[in-house]
Amino acid sequence: MSTPHLLPNGRVLRYSFHERLVHWMAGISYVYLLLTGLAFWSPWLFWIAAALGGAAVSSQLHPWAGLVFVLAVVRMYQLWGAQMKKTPADKAWLEAMPHYVRNEDESMPSVDRFNPGQKILFWGFWWCGLLLLLSGIILWFTDAIPWSLRFLRYFAVIVHPVAALLTIGLFIIHVYMGTAAERGAFGSVVRGDVSRAWAKRHHQSWYESIVGESSAKK
Amino acid sequence: MSQATLEIRAISGHAGSVPGAGVKRELEVCKLIDTTTCIGCKACEVACLEWNGLTFSETTFQNSYQTMPETAWNYWNLIKFNEHERDDGSLMLLMRKDQCMHCEEPGCLAACPADGAIVQYANGIVDFQQDRCIGCGYCITGCPFNIPKFSPQARKVFKCTLCADRVTQGLEPACIKSCPTGCLHFGTKAEMKELADHRATQLREHSGFAKAGVYDPSGVGGTHVIYVLHDASDPEVYGGLPADPHVPWTVQLWKKPLKWLGNLAIVAGVAGVFIHYLRYGPKTVPEDLQGGKP
Ligand code: HEM
Ligand code: SF4
């Protein structure tokens, strides 16, 4: 990539402006989808829809927000798809995951720009996003589906919430990791940069390739 | 406070208690449609449009007397005409008045996410409250009879009300009032069942319809609209009347086990990360390299 990864202030650029923009386009649309979706999901959460402008409005806007979300995810695929590919090294990392969970990061194998956990998150969102889109379109145009094709509706009312629940699981872990658990990660997706120490600690291979790159330039 | 709320037995998408649960003493009402004496005059179709003040819509022609292929958001009552060839090769013109069946266990109500958009009264009538409807169309998926219909203009769903407005005033539904042959009857469920059984017996014993019977499907807990059919063993020939209607199993799965499993999973997920934080705290980075704060 053309963006310099080593910034003049000694920090490392982790996400470009473009990447951050796409991330938040997905993030904000997802949160809206999640809140309105949960309102339709459970009578106990129906008040969320009232708070967001009324349930009829939420029902009408939810699918449009879904399209925004899908657009963002497709753009992410273009940006990150290649870097999210499974590599042979991932196996060792996943096997060592109990250490990662216990914050024993010094015992983890070094990883490239994305660790296997992030890859699972990405592909989980990618495939669930596809299911949500397909089932969501059926729910969107429920009334246009002829009686003879009603099995599509029966399929959509199960697939849509199941796929949503899977993403909710990923989302809970993702938000926890990105805010409370992994200090410095949130800044990387807001301001874009991380400290060298952070880069070395969490994405050593990536860090080394950047350092190598910039020293090669000099 | 309106007395009407005390007559409500079930409410869609409702988190709290039901105001009328078991409060009012009400007779369960029922409409009886004797398909064997229907002449297909469509008086009931017109009466429905008139009483409910529905807008007019275009009719279609597909080589039959039938007004349109299926009921519409502004056409709640439709006579279905079916040419049926009997085993002996003779033809029968079967006519069945199609409308909401007012199920005892309504799939629309079970599927609906909007608080109070669908209510079931103690007298058995299942009624949509359009001011509460959010236009999501879940009721269309929940219904085993293809009845709720979406109005694109209103972004709401409409269907037969069993003339709930007339019935609360002690009147019979408009379709019943208009029927010239007396093939439509209205009364309590018990009375109508008795009348229907009587008529079916008559058909079997005196009119040569050995398979005549009453349609009151148990898969949806029985209905508040019942039919007398010449051949109760094959309701499908009456324009797709389902032989054994049920709320679709995916809808049942979605609204009961999946809901609770999902809620549990979400709560467990949030609790899980919280407990993780309490136990292990954040991942910190030893700041031994240049670059300052993480
Ligand atoms: C990808 C494009 C999407 C489309 C076209 C779409 C469309 C829909 C539609 C039409 C409904 C029916 C409710 C209504 O309209 O009132 C619905 C429900 C729902 N959506 Fe989506 N949606 C999409 C993405 C998502 C995403 C990403 C989530 C993630 C949380 C989500 C979560 C939900 C939930 C939880 C429900 C309620 C399910 C239930 O009632 O059981 N949707 N969606
Ligand atoms: S469209 Fe049907 S399911 Fe949805 S809110 Fe309206 S009545 Fe309820």
Whether residue A85 is predicted with pLDDT greater than 80 in this model: the reply is yes
Min Cα distance B273 → chain A (Å) is: 7
What's chain A's average pLDDT? 94
In this predicted structure, what is the pLDDT of residue B290?
45
- pLDDT value at residue B239: 93
SS3 for B286? coil
pTM of the model: 0.93
pLDDT the model gives residue B286 = 74
Q: How many CA atoms lie within 13 A of B233 on its CB side?
A: 5
Q: What pLDDT is attached to residue B287? A: 67
Tens-place pLDDT, residues A180-202: 999 889 999 999 999 999 999 99
Which residues make Cβ contacts (< 8 Å) with residue B217, sequence separation at least 6? B223, B242, B244, B245
Antiparallel, parallel or unpaired: β A12-13 and A193-194: antiparallel
Per-residue pLDDT, B156:
97
Pick the range with the lowest mean pLDDT from A22-31, A106-115, B99-108, B192-201. A106-115
Counting as low any pLDDT under 50, the low residues of chain B are 1, 288-292, 294
- Dihedrals phi, psi of A10, to nearest 5 degrees: 85, 0
CA distance B246 to chain A (A): 13
Question: Cα-flanking dihedrals φ and ψ of residue B188, to 5°?
Answer: -80, 160
Domain residue spans of chain B: 8-246, 253-292
Going from the C-alpha of A205 to that of each of A89, A193, A211, B81, B102, the distances in angstroms are 11, 17, 10, 74, 66
What lies within 8 Å, CB to CB, of A14 at 6+ separation is: A188, A189, A192, A193, A194, A199
CATH of domain B8-246: 3.30.70.20
For residue A213, the model assigns a pLDDT of 72
- Using an 8 Å CB-CB cutoff, list chain B residues near A176: 273, 276-277
Average pLDDT, chain B: 94
Give ligand 2 pocket residues (Cβ under 6 A).
B 12, 111-112, 114, 117-118, 128, 133-139, 148, 157
Tell me the residue length of chain A.
218
Q: Which residues pair with B273 in a beta bridge?
A: none
Going by C-alpha positions, the residue among B31, B65, B63, B35 that lies closest to residue B48 is B31
- Report the nearest-CA residue for atom 6 of ligand 2: B133
**Contacts of B267 by beta carbon, 8 Å cutoff, 6+ apart:** none
Decide: A150 and A138 in contact? Cβ < 8 Å.
no
Share of chain A above pLDDT 70, in %: 96
**Per-residue pLDDT tens digits for B52-77:** 999 998 888 888 999 999 999 999 99
Q: Is the pLDDT of residue A151 over 60?
A: yes
Query: What are the structural domains of chain A?
Result: 13-217 (1.20.950.20)
